[in-house]
Amino acid sequence: MNRRAGIVVASTRAAHGERPDTSAAPLSEWLRAQDLEPLPVAIVADGEPVRNAIEELLAAGASLILTTGGTGLTADDLTPEVTKPLLEREIPGIMEAIRALGMTKTPTAALSRGYAGVVGRCVVVNLPGSSGGIKDGLTVLTPLLRHLLEQIEGSHEH
């Protein structure tokens, strides 16, 4: 099966061209390594544009959507608030594992507020915006991904 995946970069500054995005390239590389076909990357301001980008990727048939950024506590960090209402089922263990791994390196990993869950047959995961947070997220997701996607597609035998 040819699975497709999307990336949403929640960065108001990158969306307005005030700073370059450094997260899309390593995320795209990881998607290809997982045999997922990357859809076009959305670099958007945080808040409603993130929700819109997630909805567009869902409509495009994504099996996995990774968001990065907007999970902290600044006033415009709204990725969790726009993601959670879209989720049909949450997968709290993924985010617990990402935060736990991050906290072995920096105590501020505990401040990440992202969600992971399922919308239809798509997994959505809010990754932190830092390179370390992204790396931790991918480290956690790598051994889970195949089984996770098979389960939500209904192709995993119990």
- pLDDT tens figures, 44-71: 999 999 999 999 999 999 999 999 999 9
pLDDT of residue 16: 93
**What DSSP string runs through 43-105?**
EE-SSHHHHHHHHHHHHTT-SEEEEES--SSSTT--HHHHHGGG-SEE-HHHHHHHHHHHHTT
**What does the domain layout of the chain look like in residue ranges?**
4-153
Q: Tell me what the pLDDT averaged over the chain comes to.
A: 95
Q: Which two tokens stand for residue 148?
A: 């996770």
Q: Which two tokens stand for residue 11?
A: 């960065």
Low-confidence ranges of the chain (pLDDT < 50): none
pLDDT of residue 44: 98
pLDDT of residue 2: 87
Q: What is the CATH number of domain 4-153?
A: 3.40.980.10
β partners of residue 4: 37
pLDDT of residue 86: 98
CA distance 10 to 70: 6
Task: Give helix 131-141 / helix 92-103 axis angle, nearest 10°.
Answer: 130
